[in-house]
Structure 1
């Protein structure tokens, strides 16, 4: 397969940054870059995500991405919006603005909606149904603005939630962020979406 230079950027929060991973190569960005390399791409990876970021913080990250001219951006955001009780419409609107800027600059985008926070160990069992409902509400709002902006949505929450809800080893020692094993599971779910986005961009350029 012909090697195609691909500038990949990860934007968002601690999940995109890799907090909780045992080493840098265990984080989400390097795992996705390795999968793309295996699919035949020369990958230039930039991780612009910031731990603790909420959706409104994407604006700053998009500005930092602009000089890099990313071909493909993976945006992982929403966990902190849920934790800080940011209204779903407000969080989704901020995401939508960031996506519009990325798309206007010619960047293809894969959006990873908020995780189901009800699986986090410190969430009391009695509150899990409410947290699950809030997570689903934000996920739907994020998917809507992503589709409107022409971004791809990686709807992996169900598969990831099932694993994280039954295997404590997927969480790091802080019982909030994924462990290296957790990132491996998330990356496995995301790889088909990210590779498909890269292929679609390559095919469009060749057409």
Structure 2
């Protein structure tokens, strides 16, 4: 009898210990769970915590208020024939000029005190796209926050249509130009102006007797040569130049679109309808001071816009 009581006591104690063990194990699973599943439990909770935490706001890629400007390009950016005959006049440049009437892009962005210290005009009259890589290297050395580009008219303005820069070469040079800039100034923004519509300039200036005489000296012969000739051959030549400029602008747009810090003007300069008042009265081809001011307006509107031109 006593042995039976002892056996029953041991059995009861063992059952109590078993129940306590199961209860403890169950409590562990319900309370923590990690003892059994490890990172499987902590992982989702950690991810949820991360999702709940606010992420920092990304820095905008395009700065609408750059503090310095470098200009590259050709005679248009140098203000050629805008002040005196056959000479550069960089003070009226649409990009970096200091003239208060023109109110250049740099003057609008930086203000009068800073424009002379924080802008650089590196354009060269007569430059073609093949000259741009070298200008971009010079621009990168200044460390500008914005680089303006206007080049391509001289690639189309040649003595004959056969001498115009091939579109493939134009692309190669522009791509190289962007690489050269990025090598020295990886965070610089680039504003690319379209090439003006040379055929529209011909149509505007051909009505001026003085302009027609000056054009005979050889200015942009592919488009302006024999300006009064309306024969099929002459019109075909002008159409060829027009198409080449359109192709150049396509390259500018395409290459620029591949760089997240580049903004093309959407063809705004190409589409602009220059009047006689906006053309140089010395050659009826380059922009006058008035014309430079209109280019500055277009550039400022596009550089400071919240979204790039379509």
TM range, smaller chain: 0.7 to 0.9
Does the CA contact (< 8 Å) of 1:55 and 1:95 recur in 2? Answer: yes
* Equivalent residue number for residue 81 of structure 2: 20
Task: Calculate the aligned-residue CA RMSD, in Å.
Answer: 2.6
In the alignment of these two chains, the number of paired residues is 191
TM-superposition CA deviations, 1:132-172 (whole Å, max 9, x none):
22211111112111112331101213442xx22xx222111
More strand by share: 1
5 Å-filtered alignment, 1:31-180, equals: 31-37=104-110, 42-43=114-115, 44-84=118-158, 85-104=164-183, 105=185, 106-121=187-202, 123=224, 124=227, 126=235, 127-150=237-260, 151-155=262-266, 156-160=268-272, 163-164=273-274, 167-172=275-280, 173-180=282-289
**Aligned counterpart, 1:203:** none
For structure 1, the 5+ residue unaligned runs are 201-207
Question: Is the Cα contact below 8 Å between 1:103 and 1:109 reproduced in 2?
Answer: no
In 2, are the aligned partners of 1:58 and 1:95 still within 8 Å (CA)? yes
Report the counterpart of residue 6 of structure 1 in structure 2: 67
Q: 1:14 to 1:139 in 2, by over 3 A?
A: same
CA distance in 2 between counterparts of 1:69 and 1:158 reads 29
CA distance in 2, matches of 1:120, 1:68: 34
Could you tell me how far 1:64 is from its partner in structure 2?
1.5
Does the 8 A contact of 2:68 with 2:110 survive in 1? no
Matches of 1:177 and 1:158, distance apart in 2: 14
Give SS of 1:74's match.
Answer: strand
- Deviation, 1:24, is 4.2
Question: Aligned partners of 1:196 and 1:103: how far apart in 2?
Answer: 23
Equivalent-residue separation in structure 1 for 2:90 and 2:172 (angstroms): 31
Rounded to whole Å, the distance in 2 between the matches of 1:120 and 1:193 is 23
**TM-score normalised by the chain length of structure 2:** 0.56
Larger radius of gyration: 2
